[in-house]
Structure 1
Amino acid sequence: MTRFAPLVLLLLAACLRPAAGPSLDAARAQIASLPAHVVSRGVILVQAGSPPRVASLTPSGKNGPVTTWQSGDRVSLSFLQGVLVATRGLGDDLMAQDAGPLPKLLSQGQGGTYQRQTRHLSGENQIRGTTLTCSLEPGNPERILLANGTTDARRFVENCHAGTLRITNLYWRDTRGSLVKSYQWISEGAGYATIEMISAPPGQKSP
């Protein structure tokens, strides 16, 4: 596993804060003022947890194709080509998730149907697996706001279900093929995470 230097974490002072603290808009304004050499290492802005908290995260390690991003207080999210596959430090964490064909479909701008596996801890601290049946539908291009300005991106809607569980994830892919924003489910307890990519690590298109 490749680990990244914590320089950017220190410069950002990026602790997750309660909803009463900085809003997404305030966090965007702070990140927009960061020097270029900091942003070039990779930065994402995340709102997650219950109650919602806002943080800027930087790359902390890489395990094969999976990149892990971490905040100043060690909350981490791991992604496979922009698709959330694990979280730590949010309470009801996503222990692991199979991305399935989703990254490939998003990169090709296509829809499809497929299954994904998720794993969470039960109340007895046992791993509980769930098989989700999912569909991905490409939408129309739209203009979205990010910390570094507005950009044109195509929205993709992913609907998944398992029994009474219903999940809707959203992904925005820009004209360069990068996943610049997403809204992805973590767990029933933690809810959803909103992820905005300020900059990708060198050599990557997505978180």
Structure 2
Amino acid sequence: MLGFHLTQPLRAAGFALCAVVGLTACGSDTQEIELSKVTGDFLKQASGKLTSKVGKGKSDAKAATGQSAAPADPNVLVAKALAATDGPIAIVVRLDTNAVLAMNPVGRNGDHVTWGSAPGQGITYNRGVMTNTRGLGEDLMSSRIDAAVSAITSRNDADYTRVHYYLGDLGQTTELRLNCALRRSGTEKVVVGDIDEAAVILKETCRKDEISFTNIYWVDGKGRVLKSSQWVGQRIGSLAIQNLRL
């Protein structure tokens, strides 16, 4: 397990997000924070192309009631999340359950930075590329992804192997070795929170027999991953990660 502790700014950021978006379940003992409608509105605008599940649908509330709805301004949500801490902050969404978390860095070991949530989940990144998770369920326990990190942060097309490690049902370590292809897929300016940067969009397609997934990264000229959709494992699926401040 990760040996990080939750700092007061991290707890403040998590609880501020709960207060701002009106989440249905929130608190230090909550394992998953359910995505409310207002958070969905925020993610539709902030996460952009992270997932085709997040579209541009309009609410039927106005038509049903004949009154103008008052949706939350995503810029206000972002501003309040940023105000909760002086440091980096990101919104992380588990796409299979629509659970959303505010996360901050809580530990560093060289290029490996661990981000934590107020409820206690953790994700470690190597220069913005996920290396392991904790507290999400069937976690990615560790990985060997140096070639992926190098290609993604240098924004180059490449072919390489990823190796993921999970815990089996009997507590044994299981290995998943995947063949991956990284390809550039256009450019986009990422403007959200304190981020205003031009980015190259990179799509990473990985496969092992019947298992396959695609990760997407928006990487700026400094090699920073501004936002991404990254796969954890077969049961959890992908996480959408939107940085508000780096």
- Normalising by structure 2, we get a TM-score of 0.72
Larger radius of gyration: 2
Amino acid at match of 2:210: T
Structure 2 unpaired stretches of 5+ = 16-25, 27-31, 47-73
- My pick for the range that moved more, 102-111 or 191-200, is 102-111
In structure 1, distance between residues paired with 2:155 and 2:185: 10
Q: Say whether 1:184 aligns with 2:184.
A: no
Q: Say whether 1:10 aligns with 2:11.
A: yes
Q: CA deviation at 1:45?
A: 1.1
In structure 2, distance between residues paired with 1:141 and 1:84: 22
2:96, 2:237 within 8 Å by CA — same for their partners in 1? yes
Report 1:109-128 matches (<5 A): 109-128=155-174
Q: CA deviation at 1:3?
A: 6.1
What does residue 32 of structure 1 align with? Answer: 79
Structure 1 unpaired stretches of 5+ = 201-207
Amino acid at match of 1:31: V
- Indicate the structure with greater helix content: 2
Q: Say whether 1:138 aligns with 2:184.
A: yes
SS at match of 1:156: strand
What does residue 19 of structure 2 align with? Answer: none
Amino acid at match of 1:19: L
1:22, 1:54 within 8 Å by CA — same for their partners in 2? no
- My pick for the range that moved more, 191-200 or 15-24, is 15-24
Amino acid at match of 1:117: V
Q: CA deviation at 1:151?
A: 4.5
SS at match of 2:187: strand
Matched residues, number: 199
- Normalising by structure 1, we get a TM-score of 0.84
- Indicate the structure with greater strand content: 1
Q: Say whether 1:69 aligns with 2:115.
A: yes
Change (3 A) 1:149 1:104: closer
RMSD of aligned Cα (Å): 2.5
Change (3 A) 1:158 1:24: same
